[in-house]
Structure 1
């Protein structure tokens, strides 16, 4: 069964106020792992102790592209110290996206360094990889054609695939075998774009995504809300309640 984790960006404000207490709360809700988006000044020893205390696994770590270009080795070393195998590029700025060939070349180099250190490089998409094209291909598909699977794996954000105009189920199937992590996220369309909501409250077929993720052999489904309309700890509890209900019916996820 697929394990269920939380992208900690969802509770970033709570982590700033009470890092240890927030980790304890999400563990108590039933999340099995955490995907980091920064370490809030904690040492690797402190992170290890906290994860062990609450029986949490490390799903992966969102690690900024610019920081990886500046000093990938020290970032890899830190992540290995906390037992993390997946280094994930989470986002690319408008400036960087002016030159996709350079990005692909840099991802190759970073992937090679990760391989040398027995960790895995992944890329996390937003919608622009689907709305921007390189020739006949979306940037997303062009990236994974240009950079081989041995150097770059997929973290598919199913919400942004759908918002970008494509079918997330088809993309899960397409990249099966190269897809260790799927972001499990829902949204509603607004006049300003997309408002992320709790699982089951929006337009994303979240149950079907979980089914497809399990069939694709992925390791993790990672719950995330970029922004919440209620306190984030309430949002992640509501989403976990949906997950438990889905898991009890389907047997597809481990909760």
Structure 2
């Protein structure tokens, strides 16, 4: 497990990036022990739109603090129309990975919509691959709804695009919310999960059989003040061990961007680091 490295996703400290600037944010997370950084573009095509920092400036800042630019969460809907502007921004950011979320709601999309979106996703994944960027699917809870074949949407995406073109970027909290065992999923996709996200939430007080009720309850009530490994729902030791065993390269803290974002980022780094040695 000594080869595992620790990074942080931008949304975890988005308030600091906006209020204090990217340089201050990167300096602070580097001091916490984070050596990798993943951008979060949200619905924006460029980093400038997201946090008023040019891609070129961000590259210089990360180099200055010796933090590796890992990847970015990128918007999928604009890419359905034209992937080139998003690809161009990713190339400017000099990142080896870029991640999209689940590409449709499995319980709301028609067969035709699902099939068309899967086909388009494969085209985009191949385009990114040709340009030296590994496309990933960041597995939010929506990825554990079922598609027209009865597969989890995330697994449908991986199967239809091919693992040579698309990687899973699992999120431990949403795996647990989706009723999936993180250790088993890491084993199933051994050698293909280069980046693993960690977020956490407080245990639910009731059982909810429908996934989206669990998801919405967590988002509204169960994450406040919950750093990774702090009164949450997951067994960090077993998941980190599995990540090291099955070929993961980076463990990424992805938090809820709360008012104590820096404190939560620090506690998360401390808790994850315990099991990375």
In 1: Cα distance, 2:229 partner to 2:30 partner: 21
**C-alpha root-mean-square deviation of aligned residues, in Å?**
2.1
Indicate if the aligned counterparts of 1:126 and 1:157 stay in contact, CA closer than 8 A.
yes
**Structure 1 residues 96, 164: closer, same or farther in 2, change over 3 A?**
closer
TM-score by length of 1: 0.89
1:14-33 aligned within 5 A: 14-19=16-21, 20-33=23-36
1:14-53 aligned within 5 A: 14-19=16-21, 20-38=23-41, 39=47, 40-53=51-64
Point out where structure 1 has 5 or more consecutive residues left out of the alignment.
none
Higher mean C-alpha displacement, 133-142 vs 193-202: 133-142
Q: In the alignment, which residue of structure 1 is the partner of 2:263?
A: 234
In 2: Cα distance, 1:71 partner to 1:23 partner: 31
Indicate if the aligned counterparts of 1:127 and 1:160 stay in contact, CA closer than 8 A.
yes
Point out where structure 2 has 5 or more consecutive residues left out of the alignment.
42-46, 206-215
| Residues 30-84 of structure 1: per-residue CA shift (max 9 Å, x gap) | 1011110032232222011100111100121000102323442232233223320
In 2: Cα distance, 1:72 partner to 1:84 partner: 16
In 2: Cα distance, 1:217 partner to 1:128 partner: 25
1:78-227 aligned within 5 A: 78-90=89-101, 92=103, 94=105, 98=109, 99-190=113-204, 193-194=217-218, 195-196=222-223, 197-201=226-230, 202-227=232-257
More strand by percentage: 1
Per the TM alignment, residue 208 of structure 1 is displaced from its structure 2 partner at its CA by 1.2
Per the TM alignment, residue 91 of structure 1 is displaced from its structure 2 partner at its CA by 5.0
3-state SS of paired residue (1:137) = coil
May I ask how many residue pairs the two structures share in their alignment? 247
The answer on 1:57 being equivalent to 2:68 is yes
In 1: Cα distance, 2:156 partner to 2:177 partner: 19
**Structure 1 residues 131, 72: closer, same or farther in 2, change over 3 A?**
closer
In 1: Cα distance, 2:199 partner to 2:176 partner: 10
Higher mean C-alpha displacement, 189-198 vs 166-175: 189-198
3-state SS of paired residue (1:182) = strand
In 1: Cα distance, 2:190 partner to 2:106 partner: 31
